[in-house]
Amino acid sequence: MPTELCLARLARRDWLTDGPLRELIASYVESLQTRRYADSTLGAYLRCLAHFSYWMRGEGLTAESIDLALIERFLRHHLPACTCPAPCRSEVKEMRAALHHLQALLPEGDDGVTTTTPLAAELKRFGDHLRHTCGLAPPTCTYRVRHVEAFLVGRFGSDAPEIRLLAARDIDAFLNGLSAHWKPASRKVVCTSLRSYLRFRAMLGDDTRILSATLPAIANWRRRHPPKVLSDVQLEHFLQAFDLTDPVGLRDYAIARCLLDLGLRGDEAAHLTLDCVDWRNGVVMLHRTKSQRVQHLPLPVQTGEALGRYLREGRAQTDSRALFVRHRAPFGVPLSVAAIRNAMNRAFVRCGMADRFCNTHVLRRSMATRLQKTGASIKEIADLLRHRDLNTARVYARVDLERLRAVALPWPGSES
């Protein structure tokens, strides 16, 4: 549909044509149509933009002023107290989606991060250190920066952090504030983030030895129970929960096979591309791994069959090289980790196991448990799971309860 026809259907089209967004409308419409959004959705998003454009004109803003902070200001402060003339679109969730597409058309700064405050500049330097010096995976960098930000904001606000002003009581107060809602394992991760930041500051010349010693060793007996995994019967029911006559079902089944047969993490499955599968040699190459190394895995027959059927019969027509793509607008966009997680959760609901299992990691653990039951060594399991530390995989040495019962000595006084 031409842009002129899209605008002709808007009651407040003059808010767009005479506003600060007029130069972006044509590219906005083209972008959504390329990704095959429905005309009704496109019209709703244009109404959202019209409202945003009207507000910007009233504030004396131009398109160059648009950034994440401005969008959040509009959503959080203007919409709840909006007095703009009717009709105007004001539903927050819909408005956020429309402005997300608009933001994608704007030139981005370095990583899209604004450094307007001393604290933001400090966090950016810390994030760059994690990525480029430590070589950590992007998700790890993200949550470490987020934890450090929460700590520094609570102590310094938006001012530049001064390490010399930090004391042990500041760390204790921060961690005690997390204890009411965070599990020990999560608080342990926060301590790791803070310790990483203190090492970063020590590299810059600050004396952080006392602060590092202040960080507690949080007790977490996470291995007191065997890992939660699917039994053979549960696994069969789970795999039967996918509709293999539907393109989405074929895609989700292929994802499930990758998680179960290859032990992939959700992030690794989301970043698989068509070039990752070497069909001739039966190998899957992982380029996006937690260790930041390219790794090769054998392609099992059942996994290859599921992927082949999905590619022949289910995958949407798209120029994207991503293996798993969306089947709804925006079409052809690679699936996110959240989308893969939701697909597996819907399968657990369909097979009636949502009260016991969720997310993707249980499938990875189930794969390791099946290997252990077939006699694979801990070293072999660690290699297939791509664990750099052998201790991480040792939990699977004690999950086969039936074998343990077979070799256990009778309890004194019990019947033989």
Catalytic positions are 265, 290, 361, 364, 387, 396
User: What is the spatial order of strands in the sheet that 283-286 belongs to?
Assistant: 277-278, 283-286, 295-298
Q: Nearest Cα to 395, choosing from 256, 263, 229, 267?
A: 229
Backbone angles phi, psi at 366, to 5 degrees: -65, -40
Question: Phi, psi (5° rounding) for residue 356?
Answer: -115, -30
Question: Kindly report the CA angle at 35 between 32 and 40, in degrees rounded to 5?
Answer: 55
Tokens representing residue 342 in the block: 């939701």
Structure tokens at 78: 């203007």
Chain centroid to Cα 294, Å, comes to 20
Phi then psi for 112, rounded to 5 degrees? Answer: 70, 15
